[in-house]
Amino acid sequence: MLNDPILIRNLQLKNRLVMPPMQSDRSNHGRVTDDLTAYYHARAIGSEPGIIIVEHCCISEAGRADSGQLSIAEDGCIAEHRLLTDVVHEAGSRVFIQLNHAGNAAEPFDDGELVSASDVPALRKTLQKKPRPLTAEEIRGLEVCWAHAALRAVKAGYDGVEIHSAHGYLLDQFYSPLTNRREDEYGSGSLTNRLRFLVETVAAVREAVGDQVPVAVRLGGADYLPGGSTEEDAAEACRLLEQATVDLLDISGGMCGFVRQGHPEPGYFGTMTEKIKAVVSIPVMLTGGVTTTDEAEKLLQEGKADLIGVGRALFRDPDWRKKQSI
């Protein structure tokens, strides 16, 4: 199964192994460096994943997560991203890019104000600075930023784009009841409202990239915290995202980040992806705790997901796959 091809919209992948997005700290003031390009090339050559999803890139400087983050916030970066996509393509893998705004978890260089769904500080930061709730007009402005970033990505040769809505960043701050206390159409407790910003972002990105380019969402489906988003929310959200023309559901954690407390097992978000797979027909990707191809194969055989992400093992060793049995 792991070596079976799969279609994401019209895009054929040679196998179901994915290198998920991971900030590598190899950029220079947000710009692509030779070191960064070589890092992705080594993993494409050494482990031949069906897709590499390039680490989260800021869609605007105000939404920058930290100084080590890569950027796709301006047209000047398109040519250097093209060098990166070229080397991955030459090595035979497909390449997506993850697009992000950090919201209340941003570290804007000008020390400007933080924005979020509500005035709740970032749950995962020690510095508890209160953000300002975005207005509906500002939300629509950011949707345009996402769309422009997606268009740059297509011009740079990426095969698909992924919208980051996990790990406590801006779109996740709208999705999670822990950080969304709004009383307008982007909140009020209902899941449809909490998902509205993301669904509108998908629509804006889709309009920008057209109907041939796959659009993925990394959804932090469940917070696993009291009062937070649940696996049931995740299933309903994914049903709505499929309706919104999303092509790939890349499932991870919400306010808990990319780990799940007390769950070291391979595929630790598998109870969530199972619920999601029961209600959608688009491909679902499961990442977390997988360190061998045998584990990946078992999760696919059990029907937990259609694609498996292997993060830290590939981060550490570009040739990881060569040392595996399958």
Catalytic residue positions? 169
| 20 counts as binding ligand FMN under rule CB under 6 A | yes
| 107 counts as binding ligand FMN under rule CB under 6 A | no
| 23 counts as binding ligand FMN under rule CB under 6 A | yes
| 252 counts as binding ligand FMN under rule CB under 6 A | yes
Q: Which stretch binds ligand FMN (CB under 6 A): 34-42, 83-91, 162-170, 237-245?
A: 162-170
Is the CB of 213 or the CB of 286 nearer to ligand FMN? 286
Is the CB of 21 or the CB of 228 nearer to ligand FMN? 21
| 263 counts as binding ligand FMN under rule CB under 6 A | no
Q: Which of 52, 134, 166, 178 binds ligand FMN (CB under 6 A)?
A: 166
Contact 56, 101 (CB under 8 A): no
| 164 counts as binding ligand FMN under rule CB under 6 A | yes
Chain positions 24 to 83 lying near ligand FMN, rule: CB under 6 A, are 55-56
Is the CB of 164 or the CB of 196 nearer to ligand FMN? 164
> Rounded to the nearest whole angstrom, what is the least distance from the CB of residue 184 to ligand FMN in the complex?
28
Chain positions 218 to 237 lying near ligand FMN, rule: CB under 6 A, are 218
Is the CB of 98 or the CB of 293 nearer to ligand FMN? 98
Q: Which of 11, 13, 21, 117 binds ligand FMN (CB under 6 A)?
A: 21
Is the CB of 187 or the CB of 256 nearer to ligand FMN? 256
Q: Please give the residue ranges that form the binding site for ligand FMN (CB under 6 A).
A: 20-23, 55-56, 98, 164, 166-167, 218, 252, 258, 287-290, 309-312, 315
